[in-house]
Chains A and B, each alone.
Chain A
Amino acid sequence: TGGHTTEILRLLSCLSESYSPRHYVLADSDKMSEAKIRSFEQKRAETFSKSQFTLDRIPRSREVRQSWISSVVTTLYSILYSLPLTYKRKPDLILCNGPGTCVPVCLSAFLLGLLRIKRTIIVYVESICRVETLSLSGKILYYFSDYFIVQWPDLKKKYPKSVYLGRIV
């Protein structure tokens, strides 16, 4: 969604073409991100002609302020939906930064890792908006990610296993 997409595209901006092909996963209800992504990839293709990417959509796992119990149900549904997608793509790396959409994708990849089907490195970058507290996605994925990156020093203190690189977006 909006701010998350802008942030993640900034994170991608300095990556080399080793990080290719890129598979974007969006919530089905997200109207704006697709245009931003296509624009980013188009520009990228101007420099790196062999640049490749795909775009998939999954059901949104949770609406803002959705109740806890119904969130568990909708997230489980999204995980089930994500499993075949993650299995198909078998990514070496999952990069995410906080929208609810990323939780089922990461958890499905984590599951595939446990089942020894594919070991994916999960890198989570908490949004720049999070200075003192983690988002709900962050609180969950702190335990499931391989690298958990925060952008403010207070969070590094509170979550010692995190990585602090300063502001990266």
Chain B
Amino acid sequence: FRFKDSLAEDLQSADLVISHAGAGSCLETLEKGKPLIVVINDKLMDNHQLELAKQLHRDGYVLYCNCSTLVETLQSMDLAALKPFPPGQPEKFASFLDKVFGLQ
């Protein structure tokens, strides 16, 4: 498909997601608890986009490969080794701001 407003439905029914390293794609997938393989296109990718994908991989949340190693990754992957992705905590931010403004 080309562009959809939301991939939420497709994500919900997927068993495995293979995606580029865009932050939105990665985070949305991880938040739905789906296993994710991030494929890096070294030629196309803007360096900063890689930072998040690399970190997520380092922390054990995603698998990581490039176009040429994708098949090999799919054959040897161990999805059970992926860690569950804990949600962000905006309440910590709210708490911080409340302290700044003396609202606590």
Contacts and interface: CB of A to CB of B under 8 A. Distances in A.
Given A16-B98, A125-B93, A133 B88 contact: no
B103 A129 contact: no
Contact of B88 (A92, A163, A167): A167
Question: Chain B interface residue count: which class?
Answer: 20 to 34
B89 A133 contact: no
Does more than half of chain A's interface fall in helix, strand or loop, or is it mixed?
loop
Nearest to B49: A129
A16 B103 contact: yes
A10 interface: yes
Interface string B18-56: 000001100100000000000000000000110110110
A128 B23 contact: yes
B94 interface: yes
Interface SS of chain B: helix
Nearest to B28: A6
Nearest to A14: B94
A149 B97 CA distance: 11
B90 A169 contact: yes
B51 A11 contact: no
Interface in B66-91: 86, 88-91
8 contacts: A14-B90, A14-B93, A16-B103, A121-B100, A128-B88, A130-B51, A165-B93, A168-B92
Interface of B: 23-24, 27, 48-49, 51-52, 54-55, 86, 88-94, 96-98, 100-101, 103
Give me the 8 closest cross-chain CB pairs, A-B, nearest first: A14-B94, A131-B51, A167-B88, A129-B23, A168-B93, A131-B55, A169-B88, A14-B90
Given A14-B93, A166-B88, 11 more contacts: A3-B24, A10-B90, A15-B97, A18-B98, A128-B23, A129-B23, A130-B48, A133-B51, A149-B96, A165-B89, A167-B89
